Chain A
């Protein structure tokens, strides 16, 4: 079923920051098909509405994990859900991070803000198969230390380079300060044999992709996760168009060779 949501129960909630929560969900009966890293579900808050949310971890079994940031009516409703509450789920939708194409390559996983959420399943997949890939670098930017997601997990991603940088440090912050691209000079990768997975605000992704290509990474190996208004997720509502792409179908993960000419046209 792709149009009517399936009921899922919140079995765990973990507050990541003051406005972001990770919900673990289990189906009441029928479960959605398996998700791949980078794909998304439509999450329905009863009577309020539906939003696309990427899968932020892919545990074994039927459990779904999604990280939601309260920014609008629907996401606020999801954010308030307690353990035992019910949501409606549709999916999986969209393209996934192309890890098959990245095999043997050095990997740059570059996240801005909540962009780390769709990338976490890709990091998990790479760590589960350490010999399938070259060097893994995880670079994440956040607004402030209080806005950092999955902070406890960063040490487990250090293989060989994993760093968080913030725009606005507090007095206790001893980590990096600045935009995420400033970390690229220190990452361990051979540009010609590198795949980059990038997710964050569009301006951040454009700046990051330009920098990577300038350093010699092939544009088609810079994978970005794009976002547009989305209503149906099944390719019928027309909202998620970006030029020739229907992002619910042809995205969200798109190679920068395809994305660049579209993102460079204002208001496309």
Chain B
């Protein structure tokens, strides 16, 4: 696992350099040679998705996205930028915390004795290329949820441990982005092995590359590169700081945890419920939503059983089932559970917000519900209630 504290460079290894496209090509080759399964963005089915990359050619050079509440479109860009797009329908949780995993198998022997075999740890060694700062934070949040408590989840840890993370700072935020409000981007500060900042200007198409770990520095040392120059540094820094000014969305400037705690009975929940279909899309695309349920299956003999874990959603009626029926029977209570957990009680459970400001839930909501708009409305209602006589 990337150790954010361990940023001391290997002696002689570069900590900063400039790469061209051939440097990126070589980066993928080097990682594959090192036995890594490289996952990164690529264009497929009218979207920029995350998939295994055989080479850097598969990166979405020249593609951008147009985002709005309930809308997602890829579009051609005038330039050949590889990372001038924001979050797509998937996130890295699809790889670290897959939709469906087998947890163990059990046999009932002829004499009736039960034997249980835990699932062998996954042997995959991932490299994630193009991790946005918001998603980098999402991985850190999942680390805490799945691996930071009393019980550590082996399925997650076997995929996460040793994963090589290549962050790409954000220079082209979408209309639904609000990482600045959540304090997660657009710059990448720590928690990566390598961080890239893409620069496309009169001086050419290049990537400022920084190492954040000894392994990152070692990989960088193998790439064709040139020393980082001041104009590239300045162009990269201004592209990131300008991105911070172009966030399409923002959260109300209040303590969201307190806001969520104190507005559980707000009228706004009725308003949003009139629009919410309880489809659970927001939970599927959210890079931190981790909830799962279990499935117990047997084969036809009835003597071989397996426990599978699959993603679940708090919008599902069965999610809160208790004896006679669901605790959260109304869509109102289920939307409230999702939002107050994400922005509020996550702090109590896992010491941080569960939201990283990626905007996926806004984009992929079929009715365009925007959590930033809901938070603003809750804040306004709370303010009105306070000032009322």
Q: Taking the complex as formed, is A155 at the interface, i.e. its CB lies under 8 A from any CB of chain B?
A: no
Residues from chain A with a CB closer than 8 A to the CB of B330 are 267
Minimum CB–CB distance for A179 against chain B, Å: 20
Say whether, besides A3-B154, A237-B291, A267 and B113 are in contact (CB < 8 Å).
Answer: no
B106 to A88, Cβ gap below 8 A?
Answer: yes
Selecting from A4-12, A31-39, A162-170, the interface stretch reads A4-12
Chain A interface main SS type = loop
Residues from chain A with a CB closer than 8 A to the CB of B118 are 1, 3-4
B116 to A238, Cβ gap below 8 A?
Answer: no
Residues from chain B with a CB closer than 8 A to the CB of A249 are 149-150
A49 to B290, Cβ gap below 8 A?
Answer: no
Q: From the candidates B116, B149, B264, B309, name the one contacting A7 in the complex (CB within 8 A).
A: B116
Q: What band does the interface of chain B fall in when counting residues whose beta carbon is under 8 Å from A? A: 35 or more
Which residues between 221 and 256 of chain A lie within 8 Å of chain B, taking CB atoms? 227-229, 231-232, 234-239, 241, 243-246, 249
CA distance A48 to B341 in the complex (A): 31
Name which residue of chain B comes closest to A85, CB basis: B112
Say whether, besides A3-B103, A47-B302, A88-B106, A239 and B320 are in contact (CB < 8 Å).
Answer: yes
A86 to B112, Cβ gap below 8 A?
Answer: yes
Q: Taking the complex as formed, is A128 at the interface, i.e. its CB lies under 8 A from any CB of chain B?
A: no
Say whether, besides A28-B114, A84-B112, A267-B327, A241 and B341 are in contact (CB < 8 Å).
Answer: yes
A267 to B333, Cβ gap below 8 A?
Answer: yes
Chain B interface main SS type = mixed
Q: How many A-B residue pairs have CB under 8 A?
A: 124
B345 to A229, Cβ gap below 8 A?
Answer: no
Residues from chain A with a CB closer than 8 A to the CB of B116 are 4-7, 88
Q: Taking the complex as formed, is B244 at the interface, i.e. its CB lies under 8 A from any CB of chain A?
A: no
A267 to B265, Cβ gap below 8 A?
Answer: no
Name which residue of chain B comes closest to A266, CB basis: B333
A229 to B327, Cβ gap below 8 A?
Answer: yes
Say whether, besides A7-B114, A227-B322, A234 and B108 are in contact (CB < 8 Å).
Answer: no
Which residues between 290 and 314 of chain B lie within 8 Å of chain A, taking CB atoms? 290-294, 296-298, 302, 305, 307, 309, 312, 314
Mark A90-103 against chain B: 1 for CB-CB distance below 8 A, else 0: 00000000000000
Name which residue of chain A comes closest to B146, CB basis: A236
B294 to A232, Cβ gap below 8 A?
Answer: yes
Q: From the candidates A4, A85, A86, A234, name the one contacting B153 in the complex (CB within 8 A).
A: A234
CA distance A246 to B104 in the complex (A): 24
Name which residue of chain B comes closest to A241, CB basis: B341
Mark B322-343 against chain A: 1 for CB-CB distance below 8 A, else 0: 1100011110110001001100
Residues from chain A with a CB closer than 8 A to the CB of B113 are 7, 28, 86
Residues from chain A with a CB closer than 8 A to the CB of B265 are 265
CA distance A86 to B146 in the complex (A): 30
Name which residue of chain A comes closest to B318, CB basis: A229
Q: Taking the complex as formed, is B348 at the interface, i.e. its CB lies under 8 A from any CB of chain A?
A: yes
CA distance A243 to B347 in the complex (A): 11
Q: Taking the complex as formed, is A62 at the interface, i.e. its CB lies under 8 A from any CB of chain B?
A: no
Minimum CB–CB distance for A77 against chain B, Å: 11
Q: From the candidates B103, B108, B312, B344, name the one contacting A46 in the complex (CB within 8 A).
A: B108
Q: From the candidates A3, A4, A238, name the one contacting B291 in the complex (CB within 8 A).
A: A238
Name which residue of chain B comes closest to A248, CB basis: B151
B114 to A50, Cβ gap below 8 A?
Answer: no
Minimum CB–CB distance for B88 against chain A, Å: 24
Name which residue of chain A comes closest to B344, CB basis: A244
A71-B323, A237-B312 known; 17 new pairs, CB 8 Å cut-off, are A3-B118, A5-B116, A7-B116, A46-B114, A46-B305, A50-B296, A229-B322, A229-B327, A232-B294, A234-B153, A237-B292, A238-B290, A238-B292, A239-B293, A239-B319, A265-B265, A268-B333
A: residues with CB less than 8 A from B are 1-7, 28, 46-50, 71, 84-88, 227-229, 231-232, 234-239, 241, 243-246, 249, 265-268
28 pairs across A/B with beta carbons < 8 Å? Answer: A4-B103, A4-B104, A28-B113, A46-B298, A47-B298, A50-B294, A86-B113, A88-B114, A228-B327, A229-B319, A229-B321, A231-B293, A231-B294, A234-B149, A235-B150, A236-B292, A237-B292, A237-B294, A238-B290, A238-B314, A239-B320, A241-B345, A241-B349, A249-B150, A266-B333, A267-B330, A267-B332, A268-B264
